[in-house]
Homo-oligomer: A and B are copies of this chain.
Amino acid sequence: MNDTPLAQEGQAEYFFLMFGFEIKKRSQKSRARIGVLKTSHGEMETPTLVPVATQAVVKTLTSEEAIRTETQILIANTFHLHLKPGEKFIKSAGGLHKFMNWPRPMMTDSGGFQVFSLGFGKDHGVGKILKGRSRVKVKQGDQPKLLRIGYDGVLFRSPVDGREVFLGPKESIKIQETLGADIIFAFDECPPPHADKAYVSKSLKLTHRWAEISLRAKSASRRTKQAIYGIVQGGRFKDLRKESARLISSLPFDGIGIGGEFGKNKKEMSGIISAAISELPENMPRHLLGIGHPEDIIPIIKAGVDTFDCTLPTHYARHGVAFVFGGSKTVRLDMNKSKFLYDKKPLDPKCACEVCAAYARNYISHLFRAKEITALRLLTFHNLFFFNSLIEKIRRGIRKGVI
Residues of chain A whose beta carbon lies under 8 Å from any beta carbon of chain B: 55-64, 80, 84-85, 89, 92-94, 99-101, 341-342, 344, 354, 358-360, 362-363, 365-367, 369-370, 372-374, 376-378
Q: Using A59-B373, A84-B369, A99-B366 as known contacts, list a sample of 6 further A-B pairs with CB atoms less than 8 Å apart, ordered by residue number in A.
A: A59-B372, A62-B378, A63-B358, A89-B362, A101-B359, A373-B377
| Chain B residue at minimal CB-CB distance from A372 | B57
Give Cα distance in the complex from A55 to B342, angstroms: 17
Q: Residue of B at shortest CB range from A360?
A: B93
Q: Which chain B positions have C-beta within 8 A of A359?
A: 101
Q: Choose among B56, B58, B93, B374 the residue that contacts A59 (Cβ–Cβ < 8 A).
A: B374
Is chain A's interface secondary structure helix, strand, loop, or mixed overall? helix
Please tell me if the beta carbons of A101 and B362 are within 8 angstroms of each other in the complex: no
Complex contacts, A55 vs chain B, CB 8 Å: 366-367, 370, 372
Whole-angstrom CA separation of A353 from B46 in the bound complex? 35
Q: Which chain B residues lie closer than 8 Å to A344 at the CB level?
A: 92-94
- Nearest residue (CB) in B for A357 is B101
Once bound together, how far apart are the Cα atoms of A58 and B373, in whole Å? 10
Of chain B, the residue at the smallest CB distance from A380 is B373
Contact A101–B358 (Cβ < 8 Å): yes
Q: How far is the CA of A172 from the CA of B72 in the complex (A)?
A: 50
Cβ 8 A contact of A373, one of B85, B100, B373: B373
CB contacts (< 8 Å) of A92 on chain B: these are 342, 344, 362
Give Cα A60 to B233, complex, Å. 41
Residue of B nearest to A338 (CB): B85
Check A62–B377 contact: CB distance below 8 A: yes
Q: Could you show 29 A-B contacts with beta carbons less than 8 Å apart?
A: A55-B366, A55-B370, A56-B363, A56-B366, A57-B372, A59-B372, A59-B374, A60-B373, A60-B377, A62-B374, A64-B354, A80-B370, A85-B341, A85-B366, A85-B369, A85-B370, A89-B341, A89-B342, A92-B362, A93-B360, A93-B362, A93-B363, A99-B362, A99-B363, A100-B363, A101-B359, A373-B373, A373-B376, A377-B377
A60: B residues at CB distance < 8 A: 373-374, 377
Are B373 and A101 in contact (CB-based, < 8 A)? Answer: no
List the B side residues contacting A373 at CB < 8 Å: 59-60, 373, 376-377
Chain B residue numbers with a CB within 8 Å of A101 are 358-359, 363
Partner of A84, one of B59, B64, B370: B370
CB distance from A292 to the nearest CB of B (A): 22
A369 contacts which chain B residues (CB < 8 A)? Answer: 84-85
The 8 closest A-B pairs by CB, nearest first: A55-B370, A85-B366, A89-B341, A60-B373, A101-B358, A93-B362, A57-B374, A57-B372
A338 CB → nearest B CB, Å: 8
Structural contact, A358 and B62, CB atoms closer than 8 A: yes
Min Cβ gap A340→B in Å is 10
Q: Which residues of B contact A59 (CB under 8 A)?
A: 372-374
Could you tell me the distance between the alpha carbons of A59 and B58 in the complex, rounded to whole angstroms? 19
| A97 CB, min distance to chain B CBs, angstroms | 11
Measured between alpha carbons, how far is A63 from B372 in the docked complex, in Å? 13
Max chain B CB contacts within 10 Å: which of A59, A80, A374? A374
Residues of chain B within 8 A of A366, CB atoms compared:
55-56, 84-85, 89, 99
